[in-house]
Amino acid sequence: MNLPSTLGELRETEWASPRKHARSVKDEMRENLVCMLEAGQELFPGIVGYEDTVVPQVVNAVLAQHNFVLLGLRGQAKSRILRSLLNLLDERMPILAGSEVNDNPFHPISKYGRQLIEEHGEQTPIEWITREYRYVEKLATPDVTIADILGDLDPIKAARGGHLLSDELTIHYGLLPRSNRGIFALNELPDLAAKIQVGLFNIMQEGDVQIKGYPIRLPLDVMLVFSANPEDYTARGKIITPLKDRIGSEVTTHYPLTIEHGMAITAQEAWLDRDGRPLEIPGFISEIIERIAFEARQDKRIDQRSGVSQRLPITVLENAISNAERRTIVNREKTVVPRVSDIYAALPSITGKIELEYEGELQGAEIIAKELVRRACHTTFEERAQSEPCHDIVTWFDEGGALKVSGEERSDTCVKAFSTVPGLLDTVKKIGLAPRGDPATLTSACELVLEGLVAQKRISRSEEIGYTKASRSRGDPGGAGGPTNLFQ
């Protein structure tokens, strides 16, 4: 389809109607949202677990034509939701060619736009921009200046154009004017300097902006959306009250409420394509990894004000798969199947994602990370084992049996070692951990059973001799207070 390229041609289209060219960006987003709701379309692709909580509140804010803020801890998809808002904009929009502030061809707000129409009349050139160019995002940091957000005078532009510094044509527009007729998103709002917050609430209240003290008003048409940490977004935090008062809606985000939601998000976001090498992830492995994050969000040694990002299980899964991939390549096996020992090998993806309280700092991030993995294995095993007593396995260890298997061994070698423990393979089959019965999955399942029994303190584990009978002595390396390395 050939789009109009001049103002005269544009007047012959639907864009000449007041309903089209006079509507605000909030009107536009509201109209498109209503159409999507009527058609039953997905509003925020890739957002999982917010269907009954966050999404309805965001929809209400858009329908109410509110500027709004998303309050939540790190890793709660705030930025993704804000970026998804551009789907509520028209696919294309006409502007005056060369305009820095997306001038409406029928109602230009800049001196450049007005002069362009005066000079060319109906032959004024028109450009069409896609919705992606109408979304502007900025991360608020203490060094952000008024010039960055609003604009500043440009002496070089004045010299080259032969303009006085007081001329509007010497202005270098900031991000906010450049997002005119679009969406301006500001992440971590409370980190913005107070004087810039003052400039924002004037825009929200009066609908215009003044640059560098110029008596020039730009009646901007902008949808303003923000994100912030709840801890900072209070009277005691770093947000000024007048700006807080002018934000129409506060929408609180949250971490996944169920393990199933968390696993769906992790599977969606993790990088699983390993150059075509076959990959099979047992369901219990995915569950263990997700439960690590759930356990961390309840641990008092971890700073809950900072939060435990959903990126934790995502990176743990990627790291565990990478460890399994390395073993598969070295051992010349065909399929990559991660094990519990691979999760322990992914500890660097946990320690870098948690911020510790004083008690946690005394113990150390690595010790806490190992405990989180062990507790996740414990819960996952108990849910599957339920009434399965595992007496034969425990008895064998109590009678002096010991087992040490390296996490680097081939799967078939590991299965032979596990088969020496009476009842271990039978337990795996009874509770349905390895329905296919292939060596790789059997190995992973056997590790879960043994790790679960260690977590229940029915057997012990040490780096030196592997799995042994449960220790009754305090401070034994295989006991509850010892190291949690599953394999050497």
CATH number assigned to the domain comprising residue 35: 3.40.50.300
Q: Quote the pLDDT of residue 485.
A: 37
Is the residue at 24 inside a domain?
A: yes
C-alpha span between 185 and 205 (Å, rounded): 17
The C-alpha angle with vertex 100 and arms to 201 and 83, in degrees rounded to 5, equals 60
CA distances from 352 to 45, 311, 313, 332, 485 (A): 29, 11, 12, 32, 18
Give the domain range for residue 118. Answer: 7-252
Is the residue at 475 inside a domain?
A: no
- Specify whether 80 is located in the same domain as 218: yes
Give me the residues paired with residue 69 across strands. 226, 250
Is the residue at 474 inside a domain?
A: no
Is the residue at 15 inside a domain?
A: yes
Q: What is the pLDDT along the chain (488 residues), one digit of tens a residue?
A: 689 999 999 999 998 888 888 899 999 999 999 999 999 999 999 999 999 999 999 999 999 999 999 999 999 999 999 999 999 999 999 999 999 999 999 999 998 999 999 999 999 999 999 999 999 999 998 888 888 888 877 777 767 777 766 677 778 888 999 999 999 999 999 888 888 888 787 777 776 677 766 667 788 899 999 999 988 887 666 888 888 888 999 999 999 999 999 999 999 999 998 888 899 999 999 999 999 999 999 999 999 988 999 999 999 999 999 999 999 999 999 999 999 999 999 999 999 999 999 999 999 999 999 999 999 999 999 999 887 889 999 999 999 999 998 889 999 999 999 999 999 999 999 999 988 889 999 999 999 999 999 999 999 988 788 899 987 544 444 333 333 333 43
- Specify whether 189 is located in the same domain as 310: no
Q: What string of DSSP letters covers 215-251? A: S------EEEEEEE-TTTSSTTTT--HHHHHH--EEE
Tokens 């949202």 correspond to: 33
Query: Given 252, 267, 289, which residue is the final one in a domain?
Result: 252
CA distances from 18 to 157, 215, 379 (A): 35, 29, 62
C-alpha span between 487 and 464 (Å, rounded): 9
- Specify whether 338 is located in the same domain as 450: yes
- Specify whether 161 is located in the same domain as 277: no
User: Which ranges of 256-337 would DSSP assign to H, the alpha helix?
Assistant: 259-269, 283-296, 311-330
- Specify whether 325 is located in the same domain as 377: yes
Q: Which among 407, 302, 288, 317 has a CA at the least distance from the CA of 351?
A: 302
Query: Given 206, 226, 252, which residue is the final one in a domain?
Result: 252
- Specify whether 225 is located in the same domain as 290: no
Is the residue at 481 inside a domain?
A: no
- Specify whether 267 is located in the same domain as 201: no
Is the residue at 341 inside a domain?
A: yes
Is the residue at 487 inside a domain?
A: no
Query: Given 252, 271, 296, which residue is the final one in a domain?
Result: 252
C-alpha span between 421 and 425 (Å, rounded): 8
- Specify whether 418 is located in the same domain as 347: yes
Q: How many domains does the chain have?
A: 2
- Specify whether 134 is located in the same domain as 269: no
Is the residue at 183 inside a domain?
A: yes
**Cβ proximity of 285 and 318 under 8 Å:** no
Q: Please count the other Cβ atoms lying within 10 Å of the Cβ belonging to residue 34.
A: 12
The model's pTM is: 0.87
- Specify whether 236 is located in the same domain as 385: no
- Specify whether 205 is located in the same domain as 280: no
- Specify whether 247 is located in the same domain as 263: no
The C-alpha angle with vertex 309 and arms to 184 and 364, in degrees rounded to 5, equals 140
Counting Cβ atoms within 10 Å, is residue 324 exposed (0-12), middle (13-18) or buried (19+)?
buried
Counting Cβ atoms within 10 Å, is residue 238 exposed (0-12), middle (13-18) or buried (19+)?
buried
